[in-house]
Amino acid sequence: MRTWHEPARELPVRAEVDILVVGGGPSGIMAAKAAAGNGRKVMLLESRGYLGGNLTLGLPILAYLDVNGKQCVKGFAQELIDRLAARGAAGPHVPCKNHMSLTIIDPEEVKTVALEMMEEVGVEVLMYVFCSDVIKDGDTVRGVIIESKAGREVIFAKTVIDCTGDGDVATRAGVEMHKGDKDGGMQPPTLMYSVRKVDMAAFRDALVNHRDVFDMDVMPPEQFARRYFITVGLRNQINQANKDGLDIPVARTILITGLKDDQIWVNMSRVSGVDSTKPESYTFGEIEARRQMYRINAYLRRYVPGFKDLEVEKVAPFLGIRESRVMVGKYVLTAEDILESRRFDDVVTVAGYPVDIHHSTGSDCTMLFAKDNHDIPYRCLVPEKVGGLLVAGRCSSFTHEAMAGTRVMSTCMALGQAAGTAARIALDEGVAVADVDVKAVQKDLLANGAFLG
Ligand SMILES: Cc1cc2nc3c(=O)[nH]c(=O)nc-3n(C[C@H](O)[C@H](O)[C@H](O)COP(=O)(O)OP(=O)(O)OC[C@H]3O[C@@H](n4cnc5c(N)ncnc54)[C@H](O)[C@@H]3O)c2cc1C
């Protein structure tokens, strides 16, 4: 590759803070909220013009409840729902055979509520800045370099929490990262969008009363009589549409009820091979997913009862990335840990979602269910060799298979709360984040409403 030597130059220091959270998605919002307190100066960086990350795509939040219907994610993640519900912007936690539970939220209101939460605890939010590099002293992160319309600037921090989803900070800091399965195959991305003018009575009737035609995998008919549900099925219809030449990229029809009566969110585009850490690949994904949307609408209109008059209402602001870089931390959570419902002394998050792998190629998905929820230990947030840094969210330390379960937004929020709490307590104790008293972190999490089993 052709290169150019960039001359060294002085950079302005924009800020010096105690705890810096990079990435304002589900994990980042909760990390920043938990880090605030004790007069600590906390800053949250976000490259887009709003907070929320994937909470703004139109997705339901899955697995607040576990396989036994017990609520296993509480704390700040529950506070978000309570605040949204008070504005009429969230539904209840609805049990679901496939997804343990779904909680429908209004993606626009999330942006407002997240900002309110930050303002209340005094977190300084800085948007439209992209974290492009780190500053290190030996093996310890001391801050980051940001890029924006204002140029290239420095923010020094005593602790940085990487909540970028892609592990951008950890990667630049030299933390070992991995991507995908043994062949590097990653779960494909999807461009979410909502449609209106759905005849819900006709749709429900097909799912509840005509299962012989309208198949629904493992999901029982009574689920679809409820106000809120997710469909995962109608394989026969997709097969027929493909025979008729429509070229639908997924094997299963995944549709999610919205907060409005005739609204459905469509989770059906799928672009294999996209790597969100490569702009040309991400660009290809955006273009291809947008093309697929028109074929999917043609399928819904013609093959799915109730959809013949659909109108596209809103397309998500960006192509949603299921998987990219994941850290290799002090402990790497495995699928066995999830499926055998393992417990850890240093638990900081309890999670209840199955291993749900959208195949990196082809159109199908594998789901593996556990009999109970499982723990995630603090060590999954801690890099093995690099100090001054925690990594929270979908890029914490998991195998490819485990991450297919822990990636849901309820779990990411709980991981964020754990990381922010640990960063704050480590500073209070005057120790490195890797050496924080985990019992004190657990005590603080419990005092702030978290569930630890
Ligand atoms: C199509 C799809 C369907 C899914 N379905 C569900 C579902 O139904 N329910 C569910 O609960 N979960 C679902 N998930 C999983 C879930 O959305 C994600 O795993 C989760 O949002 C990850 O949270 P996060 O905080 O780690 O990252 P993100 O939500 O990705 O947030 C990261 C934030 O960091 C910002 N950022 C990134 N890099 C930088 C940088 N260098 N500098 C500054 N800011 C940066 C981003 O702009 C973003 O706001 C789905 C995911 C996808 C893609």
**How many other β-carbons are positioned within 10 Å of the β-carbon of residue 149?**
6
Nearest CA to 126 among 17, 39, 217, 234?
17
Gap from CA of 54 to ligand 1 centroid (Å): 4
Gap from CA of 165 to ligand 1 centroid (Å): 6
DSSP state, residue 7: P
199 and 261 in contact (C-beta within 8 Å)? no
Q: Decide if 55 is inside a domain.
A: yes
Are residue 167 and residue 224 in the same domain, yes or no?
A: no
Give residue 211's pLDDT.
Answer: 87
Give residue 308's pLDDT.
Answer: 98
Q: Decide if 350 is inside a domain.
A: yes
DSSP string, 276-321: TTSHHHHHHHHHHHHHHHHHHHHHHHHHSTT-TT-EEEEE-SSPBP
Are residue 34 and residue 154 in the same domain, yes or no?
A: yes
Residues 81, 75: Cα–Cα separation, whole Å: 10
Gap from CA of 158 to ligand 1 centroid (Å): 25
Burial of 371 (0-12, 13-18, 19+ CB in 10 A): exposed
Gap from CA of 308 to ligand 1 centroid (Å): 32
Are residue 104 and residue 246 in the same domain, yes or no?
A: no
pTM here is 0.98
Are residue 352 and residue 261 in the same domain, yes or no?
A: no
Give residue 215's pLDDT.
Answer: 86
Gap from CA of 53 to ligand 1 centroid (Å): 5
Best residue for ligand 1 mutational test, from 33, 48, 54 (most atoms within 8 Å of Cβ): 54
Are residue 203 and residue 250 in the same domain, yes or no?
A: yes
Q: Decide if 88 is inside a domain.
A: yes
Atom of ligand 1 nearest to the CA of 256: 8
Gap from CA of 406 to ligand 1 centroid (Å): 12
Are residue 137 and residue 209 in the same domain, yes or no?
A: no
List CB contacts of 239: < 8 A, sequence separation 6 or more.
none
**How many other β-carbons are positioned within 10 Å of the β-carbon of residue 331?**
19
Are residue 79 and residue 170 in the same domain, yes or no?
A: yes
Burial of 271 (0-12, 13-18, 19+ CB in 10 A): buried
β 347-351/374-377 pair status: antiparallel
Q: Decide if 188 is inside a domain.
A: no
Gap from CA of 97 to ligand 1 centroid (Å): 24
Atom of ligand 1 nearest to the CA of 130: 42
Are residue 408 and residue 296 in the same domain, yes or no?
A: no
The domain tally of the chain equals 2
Give residue 74's pLDDT.
Answer: 98
Give residue 433's pLDDT.
Answer: 98
Are residue 130 and residue 238 in the same domain, yes or no?
A: no
Residue type present at position 404: A
Specify the residue with its C-alpha closest to ligand 1, atom 37. Answer: 164
CATH number at residue 381: 3.50.50.60
Specify the residue with its C-alpha closest to ligand 1, atom 19. Answer: 407
Q: Decide if 274 is inside a domain.
A: yes
Q: What radius of gyration, in Å, describes the C-alpha atoms of the chain?
A: 22
Are residue 124 and residue 164 in the same domain, yes or no?
A: yes
Q: 10: which 2 tokens?
A: 């002085």
Specify the residue with its C-alpha closest to ligand 1, atom 14. Answer: 408
82 and 89 in contact (C-beta within 8 Å)? no
**How many other β-carbons are positioned within 10 Å of the β-carbon of residue 182?**
7
Q: Decide if 7 is inside a domain.
A: no
Gap from CA of 181 to ligand 1 centroid (Å): 19
Atom of ligand 1 nearest to the CA of 413: 25
Among 315, 343, 375, the domain boundary falls at: 315
Give residue 354's pLDDT.
Answer: 96
Q: Decide if 4 is inside a domain.
A: no
Give residue 363's pLDDT.
Answer: 79
Gap from CA of 372 to ligand 1 centroid (Å): 25
For residues 218-250, one letter each, b for 16 or more C-beta atoms within 10 angstroms of the residue's C-beta and e for the rest, the string is ebeeebbeeebbbbbbbbebbeebeeeeeebbb
Q: 153: which 2 tokens?
A: 């600037």
Specify the residue with its C-alpha closest to ligand 1, atom 12. Answer: 408
Among 282, 315, 348, the domain boundary falls at: 315
Residues 240, 267: Cα–Cα separation, whole Å: 19
Gap from CA of 12 to ligand 1 centroid (Å): 30
Atom of ligand 1 nearest to the CA of 48: 47
Q: Decide if 285 is inside a domain.
A: yes
Atom of ligand 1 nearest to the CA of 51: 49
Residues 160, 133: Cα–Cα separation, whole Å: 12
Pocket of ligand 1 (CB under 6 A): 22-28, 45-48, 53-54, 59-62, 130-131, 163-166, 168, 189-190, 267, 320-322, 393-394, 407-410, 412
Specify the residue with its C-alpha closest to ligand 1, atom 10. Answer: 408
Residues of the chain with pLDDT under 50: none
Best residue for ligand 1 mutational test, from 268, 409, 411 (most atoms within 8 Å of Cβ): 409
DSSP state, residue 20: E
* Helix/strand/coil percent split, the chain, to 5: 30, 25, 45
Gap from CA of 253 to ligand 1 centroid (Å): 22
Gap from CA of 321 to ligand 1 centroid (Å): 7
Specify the residue with its C-alpha closest to ligand 1, atom 17. Answer: 54
Give residue 219's pLDDT.
Answer: 86
Give residue 401's pLDDT.
Answer: 96
Are residue 393 and residue 439 in the same domain, yes or no?
A: yes
48 and 157 in contact (C-beta within 8 Å)? no
Among 288, 315, 342, the domain boundary falls at: 315
pLDDT digits (tens, 9 = 90+) for 221-236: 899 999 999 999 999 9
Are residue 134 and residue 231 in the same domain, yes or no?
A: no
Atom of ligand 1 nearest to the CA of 52: 49
**What range defines the domain where residue 225 resides?**
193-315
